Amino acid sequence: MTTLTLGRASIPAKYLPVLVTGCLFVAMFMVGGIRYEGFATGQIILNVFIDNAFLLVMAVGMTFVILTGGIDLSVGSVVALSTMISASLMAGPGWPPYLVVPLVLAIGSGLGLVMGYIVHAFDIQPFIVTLAGMFLARGLCYTIGTDSIPIEDPTFTAFAQTRIDLFADMWISPSVIIALVVVAVAAYVLRYTRFGRSVYATGGSEQSALLMGLPVGRTKITVYTISGFCSALGGVLLSFYMLSGYGLHAVGMELDVIAAVVIGGTLLTGGSGFLLGTVLGVLVLGLIQTIISFEGTLSSWWTKIFIGLLLFVFILLQRLFSARSRR
């Protein structure tokens, strides 16, 4: 195992990307605290979680996919489709949320299952299959409606507007609790279950995983199903956040999700990465948006510029670590 030696301490190379992301987040927070009054508070961190709970859930599903060496470009469109289905069913037929939410989650999981099956059964590149899924889901949004549909269901809006008070006047939303539960369950699955080990083995070397008798096909289908479920759940959380359904919600968000996972240290080639890194990647993206908001003089497009620069840096770091591990 390749290690980095710092004084008397040796750090395994697989932990280095997560360490770098964590240090980057701390450095950004410290710089923001020095530059802006009222920045260095606990509520700022909690606000990043509140504003990006849906992105964190989506990133969890994407982490499973990328760990197997795949990619899912459909996540943003599935999020939009989830918001449209939720809003239209509650606004039109007047379905209650406890029926709408399970239906939305089932539809998202079903789309992921179908894409995963096609990727495995027909040996087609995930990029092509999920690109088709992206267009399909986005197109289905516009068959439901082309305008924004407000969500006015009392139960749904009451839950969306609930504040969970913590201490020292800090608070979070229920969406943050849901996102953290998803992270905890996913981390347990990856760390302590046979399926989790199969995910890492498939991404490390699919041929070797087959020779070891691991269920590679079932694993690939399952990770896309998980991604579809997480995208649909992310759509529900975005519905809480926006209280509307719209076909243009989450346009380009699949790129933000991939960026968060890569910045979190998960290798695009698969086989290496941690959910803690994904959480830190989402926090870094959210903190960039917060800093730009505090600055006040910068366009929101600077967020994309900074994310692009960070992606270049982390891809180069991945290349460097991969080259060192082969020596």
Can you tell me the mean pLDDT for 163-187?
A: 94
Sign for the pseudo-dihedral over CA of 128, 131, 135, 137: positive
What percentage of the chain exceeds 90 in pLDDT? 71
Q: Is residue 35 part of a domain?
A: no
Among the ranges given (37-51, 115-129, 182-196), the one the predictor scored with the smallest mean pLDDT: 37-51
Question: Which contiguous run of DSSP H or E holds residue 322?
Answer: helix 301-325
Split into its structural domains, the chain has a count of: 1
Beta carbons within 8 Å of 199's beta carbon, 6+ residues apart: 64, 67, 68, 190, 219, 223
The letter for the amino acid at 175 is: S
H or E element at residue 295: helix 275-295
Q: Quote the pTM value.
A: 0.92
Residue 167 maps to a domain: yes
> CB-based burial of residue 294 (10 Å sphere; 0-12 exposed, 13-18 middle, 19+ buried)?
middle
**Helix (H) / strand (E) containing 164:** strand 164-165
User: Would 140 be classed as within a structural domain?
Assistant: yes
- Domain containing 273 equals 51-297
Q: N- to C-terminal Cα distance for the chain?
A: 11
Residue-level pLDDT at 69 = 93
User: Is residue 230 within a helix (H) or strand (E), and if so which, with residue range?
Assistant: helix 216-242
The residue-averaged pLDDT of 40-47 equals 91
**pLDDT at residue 74 tops 90:** yes
Report the alpha-carbon distance of residue 105 to residue 176 in Å, rounded.
18
The half-sphere exposure of 208 on its side-chain side, counting CA atoms within 13 A, is: 11
273-306 pLDDT, tens digit each: 899 999 999 999 999 989 988 887 777 778 888 8
For residue 198, the Cα-to-chain-centroid distance in whole angstroms is 21
The domain spanning residue 255 has which CATH number?
Answer: 1.10.3470
Express the helix, strand and coil content of the chain in percent, nearest 5 each. Answer: 70, 5, 25
In 52-173, where does DSSP find H-type helix? Answer: 53-67, 75-91, 97-121, 126-144, 154-160
What number is the average pLDDT over the span 180-184?
Answer: 97
pLDDT tens column, 239-260: 999 999 999 999 989 999 999 9
Q: Is residue 127 part of a domain?
A: yes
CA–centroid distance for 121 within its chain: 26
Q: What would the two tokens of residue 172 be?
A: 């979070």
216 in a structural domain? yes
The confidence band for 133, taking pLDDT boundaries of 50, 70 and 90, is: very high
The string of pLDDT tens digits covering residues 223-244 is: 999 999 999 999 999 999 999 9
Q: Is residue 72 domain-resident? A: yes
**CA-based nearest residue to 239, from 178, 170, 313:** 178
Q: Are 94 and 246 in contact (CB under 8 A)?
A: no
On whether residue 131 sits in a domain, the answer given is yes
Is pLDDT above 60 for 195?
A: yes
Q: What is the CA radius of gyration of the chain?
A: 20
Position 208 in a domain: yes
The answer to whether residue 321 scores a pLDDT higher than 70 is: no
